[in-house]
Structure 1
Amino acid sequence: MNMTTPQVDTVPARYWHHLDDGRIQCDVCPRFCKLNDGQRGLCFVRAREGDQMVLTTWGRSSGFCIDPIEKKPLNHFLPGTPILSFGTAGCNLTCKFCQNYEISKARQMDKLSSLATPEMIAQTAKAHGCSSVAFTYNDPVIFLEYAVDVAQACREIGLRTVAVTAGYIGDKAREEFFRHMDAANVDLKGFTDRFYHQLCSAHLDDVLETLRYLKQETGVWFELTNLVIPGENDGDAEFDEMTGWVQSELGPDVPMHFSAFHPDWKMMDTPRTPPATLMRARDIAIKNGIRYAYVGNVHDKAGSSTYCHGCGDILIGRDWYQLSDWNLDAHGACKTCGTHCGGVFQVNPGTWGPKRQPVKLISKT
């Protein structure tokens, strides 16, 4: 960890280059924003100042909260443990259904709290008994330099780091970013380019490339979330194609979470997702060989619990974010039949439960 990191909001950014016409191109994500002096990228936090690219939100956060790790959602990474969650401001997508739009679409830096150095974040997480720190609420891709610095500070004191991301990131930035992550939840928002283009101003193939990279080139544990939106990405054919691709390209052990949409931001007239639709998606995933398929944002203990793909016994029972059954041995295998369960597990489950606890950072002494 570079202990001489400047105590300021703006730091030099990585992943950009000069263009022949005098502009600077940001390469941190596939949007490739091209900027004149004084301009900001679509994410709003990466900007051109003079002859360089800078990150304008280093050391600033929209708030800190301790959550159950299942809320990320991660069901197979240190179940039952508390995780310190935080984000900054801005986003490199324009999802019309964004459920954190007050943060992700923020255009005022006064939405951010006072200085939060990487060391302060790591020490606060440690002091509150957290096993890990999550970059969430808005996409950490856009504050890559800050996220990497925090991740390094966490690893120095034995904490894990988790990225909650849409996976919309450039090739070179992808390598550095995920090298510092222990786990990730990636939003696979839909499985048509129409969906990504019309609702998110992005492209599906770039996200699929990130998922292939995670599987083939890293040891990062990752899970997928599909927010199911009525009339947009809730057809059986799309569920079938998506889950078939996941099984074929990523393997049967990558957990998939099918989460309920609720009206928000620019999609207030779209109805909530019926629970039956989520169960249909889960059933299709299981039929296609996905071993761990879940429903989210609804109360469904059966659809939220983990089952052994060998004998069918329950491995981890969940009621919302409260763990009940635990049928894994010290090696993460089913106690009944010995079949290994994909994931990163401790000998005993955590006991954090459903609590959500806002916290203030511990000042560095």
Structure 2
Amino acid sequence: MNKTTDFYPTKYWHLLDDGRVQCDVCPRFCKLHEGQQGLCFVRGRHGDQIRLTSYGRSSGFCIDPIEKKPLNHFLPGTPVLSFGTAGCNLACKFCQNWDMSKSREMDTLADEASPLKLARVAHELGCRSMAYTYNDPVIFMEYAMDVAIACREYGIKSVAVTAGYMSDEPRREFFSYMDAANVDLKAFSEAFYWKICGGHLQPVLDTLIYLKRETQVWFEITTLLIPGENDSDPELEALTQWVVENLGPEVPIHFTAFHPDWKMLNHSPTPLSTLIRARRIAIKNGIRYAYTGNMHDEKGGSTYCHQCGQLLIGRDWYTLGVWNLTADGFCNACGTACAGVFEAKPGTWGARRRPVRLRQYAD
């Protein structure tokens, strides 16, 4: 895809008085001259419009457990076909997928698939959902939405793994095609977002509020805790209190461990004790489903009834064990509903990770 005619047309942009074209997908509002690309790298000006250069191409496809997204309350135990492209609209110094999200090489996008082929292959492989992940689907929203439309024909759900850094109108269209999401709430301070991510906090909070109040999308939140940056008691208190007050106590939150990467190699890894402390603060403030992640902690990874304390779903990493939910998602001890999207029986995919080469399948 190296010709202008191959670039995919988009609609969230407008022409400025000075002749530049402004991209309106996210709050960066990149203002571009002919031939320039936005910070995300995959949306750029070609002619008098913004076009997407990564449509139909991916940095790789893989079947994952849905718990790896992480989603603990959406079709537990089932396989999800995951893919991403290249680029990102944030500039997080701690990026764990920087080889894809920071890539400016289109050769990173080595695998190709039309939406129809991708949906058909997911169906053939027995996947219950499709995840737009690894880098943020906000920047390749046209491709993700077309895949989601194709997936609906096979009864396959769509999952967005996103930082939620998006403008209002495209946000509304994008999430109208999604069934579930994990939103990365990177911190609860504007200073962190600006200094470390090159963005702003409020648009992410707006996305979370929109998902809760105006959609039926099942969503969970992930916060990667970085020692000395966003892991203080006061910040964790403020974050979890905000979630309860604005989103409700039933929205799950995952506290995950940082490991030194990209431009933050001089920071220490997150100790398990920090994740346990964050989980304890969240539960104290009324969050019913708080989890630890990226480290082995069976208690912190399992689901409990918020009413009676019964172990509802036991997890060892991404492998399910104990299952004490009724067929309709209630605690089998006290009858209290567990928030989420559940089927009568859990999936049995386990912790497997299976790379998929789309070119091996017929078009």
- 2:114 pairs with 1:117: yes
Distance in 2, matches of 1:143 and 1:13, equals 10
1:294 aligns with 2:291: yes
* 1:141 match: secondary structure: helix
Shift of residue 330, structure 1, vs aligned partner: 1.1
Question: Which amino acid letter does the alignment assign opposite residue 209 of structure 2?
Answer: R
Matched, 1:347 2:347: no
Cα offset, 1:113, TM superposition:
1.6
Amino acid at match of 1:208: L
Change (3 A) 1:55 1:310: same
**Structure 2 match to 1:41:** 38
- How far off is 1:110 after superposition? 0.5
What CA distance in whole angstroms lies between the structure 2 residues aligned with 1:162 and 1:352? 17
Contact kept in structure 1, 2:162 and 2:182, CA below 8 Å: yes
Q: Pick from 238, 241, 266 the counterpart of residue 244 of structure 1.
A: 241
What does residue 54 of structure 1 align with? Answer: 51
Q: C-alpha displacement at 1:364, in angstroms? A: 4.7
Is the aligned partner of 1:216 residue 2:213?
yes
| Runs of 4+ residues deviating >2 angstroms | 362-365
State whether structure 2 residue 317 is matched by structure 1 residue 320. Answer: yes
> Is residue 80 of structure 1 aligned with residue 72 of structure 2?
no
Q: Is the 8 A contact 1:81 1:352 kept in 2?
A: yes
1:194 corresponding residue in structure 2: 191
1:229 counterpart = 2:226: yes
Amino acid at match of 2:78: T
Match of 1:356 in 2: 353
Which residue does the alignment assign to 1:5?
none
CA 1:305 to 1:140, structure 2 compared with 1: closer, same or farther past 3 Å? same
Q: Compared with structure 1, are the counterparts of its residues 9 and 311 closer, same or farther at alpha carbon in structure 2 (3 Å cutoff)? A: farther
Report the equivalent of 1:95. 92
Q: 2:153 aligns with which of 144, 150, 156?
A: 156
State the AA in 2 paired with 1:54. Answer: R
Match of 2:133 in 1: 136
Superimposed CA distance per residue, residues 308-329 of structure 1 (whole angstroms, 9 cap, x where no aligned partner)? 0111000000000000000001
1:187 corresponds to which letter in structure 2? D
Of 65, 68, 73, the match for 2:65: 68
For the residue of structure 2 that corresponds to 1:330, the secondary structure is: coil
CA displacement at 1:280 relative to structure 2 = 0.4
**Conserved in 2, the CA contact under 8 Å of 1:14 and 1:145?**
no
Shift of 1:9: 4.9
Query: How many angstroms does 1:285 deviate by?
Result: 0.2
Q: CA RMSD in A?
A: 0.9
Task: Name the CA distance, whole Å, in 1 between partners of 2:154 and 2:215.
Answer: 22
Count of residue pairs brought into register by the alignment: 358
Distance 2:104 2:244 in 1: 39
| CA distances 1:241-285 after superposition (whole Å, capped 9, x unpaired) | 000000000000000000000000000110000100100000000
Aligned counterparts of 1:236 and 1:130: Cα–Cα separation in 2: 40
Report the equivalent of 1:281.
278
- Report the counterpart of residue 3 of structure 1 in structure 2: none
Q: Which amino acid in the other structure matches residue 186 of structure 1? A: V
Tell me the SS of whatever aligns to 1:198.
Answer: helix
Distance (whole Å) between structure 2 residues aligned to residue 98 and residue 121 of structure 1: 27
Q: TM-score, normalised by structure 2?
A: 0.98
For the residue of structure 1 that corresponds to 2:158, the secondary structure is strand
Measured in 1, the distance between the counterparts of 2:252 and 2:362 equals 38
Per-residue deviation, residues 100-151 of structure 1 (Å, max 9, x unmatched): 0000000010111242110111111111110000000000000011010000
Residues 339-359 of structure 1 show CA distances to partners (whole Å, capped at 9, x for unaligned) of 000000010000000000001
**Equivalents in 1 of 2:285, 2:47: separation in Å?**
52
1:265 alignment partner in structure 2: 262
SS at match of 1:342: coil
2:243 partner amino acid: V
Q: Is the 8 A contact 1:294 1:305 kept in 2?
A: yes
Amino-acid identity (%): 66
Query: 8 Å contact 1:9–1:60 — kept in the other structure?
Result: no
CA contact (8 A) 1:44 1:107 kept: yes
The whole-number CA distance in structure 2 between the counterparts of 1:121 and 1:9 is 19
Structure 2 gap ranges (5+): none
